[in-house]
Structure 1
Amino acid sequence: MMDSQKKQNFGLRFWQLKSFIPRIVLYFLFTSLTSSGIESWPDWVVLVVKVLPIAYLIKFVWLQHESLDALWRCPFSRYVTMGLVFSLLGDSLLVYQNYDETLFIAGIICFALGHTFYICAFGWETLQLPLLVKFMCLSGTLYWYLWRGDLANQSVSLKVGVAVYAILIGCMNWRAWARLSYQDFVDGRWYEFMGCIGAFSFMLSDSALAINKFRGPYQNENLIIMSTYYVAQLGIALSVVDGPDLYRPKKLE
């Protein structure tokens, strides 16, 4: 009976994501038409299409609770929701980064706040300090690589901002992976692993974005940056399912 209920809930959750993939396909269709010169879209159209998948993930997290108030009373879901909201704001600002460097910095700040909320969501129950050292080494290596590119020639505020952001993304990965244990696999708590996949995909996406900006363009840059980014946000959103908070699915309309 319990296994049947789990399967039913599993199917319901993924049914709630039925519109997520089409929104991603729509974004890549728009960008491919733009890059190939077939169509040219206003920035606000690109912005809307870009943030639609994240907006849908915010709705998905909400659907795991009976009401918005119930979501807000659950710390894990609340922090994940805030992380998604600030990521959406950061996405919006980065669409216009070519017009003004301050918009790129503002976008970094929004994503940094988003990562801070994700760190709060993953918690501090187990420290796992060796993991912290490993992820800080990864972040430091990336910063060194960017510094040897164009980052060294940027303003002090941008250099500091990128450094703080690199520390935050490393810290977010540390907290996500620190809570994972072998017992999670034994007990079938797959949502813990989804959070780890999301966190590491975020590191890959942000690294790809930073390399593109400070080391120069490369082939299929947008596909790499955005595909890993959407996987990251999806993984973190899925970590809410059966997570530390109670799962109370809303009825689908």
Structure 2
Amino acid sequence: MRKQSWLILFGIDGLINLFSITANWHWLTLVSKSLLMPFLIAWFVSNIPDNSRPRLYVMAALFFSWLGDVFLLVDEPKFFMAGLASFLFAHLLYIFFFASVIYAQTEKQKWNPWISGAVFLYAILLFFFLRPHLGALQTPVFVYAATIATMLVCSIQAFKNNGNRQTYFCIAGAALFVLSDSLLATNKFYQPFAGASFGVMLSYIMAQYCIVRGAITYLSRN
């Protein structure tokens, strides 16, 4: 199959997923969501055939994202915790990928304290906003929030001065991931709101696509 065919399948499946959410077709939502990451993995692997460590980080992050997607299909506390753990590993692996990009830089870029501070401040404020509603999940949610904030900061550090606009997709993807998780957490722990599921999945689908597109561009050049 041609490389772009996997991306087309991912896009079609994403549209089906969003449509099924709007139409409230639960079974189609479950099936389409479970296929998103396999299509994205296939697109990534077909474009980057080597076995470099950064490539393996991205592949593993997508695999754990798929596990998280599957676990979150079941609306039970133990499956939610399994999904949270899966996405935590996915974010850690994306951090490893961004860290490998930072390490490979010939000219090390200084960390911007204002950007890092703003990202972590947002994560802290969101956590304290949700804290009264978290119950026994305060520690896991705090760790998760700190991890995804670190992922966004590392993506900015890795690609802000990369010299190729295509790799800026990684920064956009990490930011969209923060948005998606923020919407999910607000809907689940604070107050359900109209369009939450659609917003969560739209930002999630775009986040994963952007990170993978940026990664493909970077790894193809290096």
TM-score normalised by length of structure 2: 0.88
Equivalents in 2 of 1:141, 1:57: separation in Å?
33
1:181 matched to 2:160: yes
Q: Which residue of 2 aligns with 1:202?
A: 177
Equivalents in 2 of 1:145, 1:191: separation in Å?
35
CA 129–246 in structure 1, closer or farther in 2 if over 3 Å, else same:
closer
User: Per-residue displacement from partner, 1:113-151 (whole Å, max 9, x unpaired)?
Assistant: 000000000114346151332211111011011114x22
Assess if the C-alpha contact under 8 Å between 2:173 and 2:207 holds in 1.
yes
Equivalents in 2 of 1:75, 1:87: separation in Å?
18
1:164 matched to 2:143: yes
Q: SS of the counterpart of 1:83?
A: helix
Equivalents in 1 of 2:220, 2:110: separation in Å?
21
Equivalents in 2 of 1:136, 1:47: separation in Å?
33
1:24 to 4, 14, 22: 14
Identical columns (%)? 26
1:135 matched to 2:112: no
Q: CA deviation at 1:89?
A: 0.3
The worse-fitting range, judged by mean Cα deviation, of 237-246 and 48-57 is 237-246
Assess if the C-alpha contact under 8 Å between 1:179 and 1:192 holds in 2.
no
CA 166–40 in structure 1, closer or farther in 2 if over 3 Å, else same:
closer
Q: CA deviation at 1:216?
A: 1.1
Equivalents in 1 of 2:146, 2:60: separation in Å?
20
Partner AA of 2:213 in structure 1: L
Assess if the C-alpha contact under 8 Å between 2:6 and 2:42 holds in 1.
no
The worse-fitting range, judged by mean Cα deviation, of 74-83 and 170-179 is 74-83
Equivalents in 1 of 2:83, 2:10: separation in Å?
23
Assess if the C-alpha contact under 8 Å between 1:194 and 1:238 holds in 2.
yes
* Alignment size in residue pairs: 213
Q: CA deviation at 1:13?
A: 6.3
Q: Which has the larger Rg?
A: 1
2:70 to 92, 111, 116: 92
The worse-fitting range, judged by mean Cα deviation, of 174-183 and 238-247 is 238-247
Q: Which residue of 2 aligns with 1:83?
A: 61
Instruction: Map 1:48-127 to 2 at 5 A.
Output: 48-66=31-49, 70=50, 73-96=51-74, 98=75, 100-123=76-99, 124-125=102-103, 126=109
More relative contact order, 1 or 2 (CA 8 Å, 6+ apart): 1
Unaligned ranges ≥5, structure 2: 104-108
Q: CA deviation at 1:49?
A: 1.3
Q: Which residue of 2 aligns with 1:6?
A: none
Q: Which residue of 1 aligns with 2:106?
A: none
Equivalents in 2 of 1:145, 1:21: separation in Å?
34
CA 167–183 in structure 1, closer or farther in 2 if over 3 Å, else same:
closer
Assess if the C-alpha contact under 8 Å between 1:80 and 1:118 holds in 2.
yes
Q: CA deviation at 1:17?
A: 1.7
Assess if the C-alpha contact under 8 Å between 1:146 and 1:211 holds in 2.
yes
Assess if the C-alpha contact under 8 Å between 1:74 and 1:245 holds in 2.
no
CA 211–219 in structure 1, closer or farther in 2 if over 3 Å, else same:
same
Instruction: Map 1:4-23 to 2 at 5 A.
Output: 16-23=6-13
CA RMSD of aligned residues (A): 2.0
Equivalents in 2 of 1:243, 1:144: separation in Å?
36
TM-score normalised by length of structure 1: 0.78
Q: CA deviation at 1:239?
A: 1.6
Q: CA deviation at 1:240?
A: 2.1
Unaligned ranges ≥5, structure 1: 1-11, 248-253
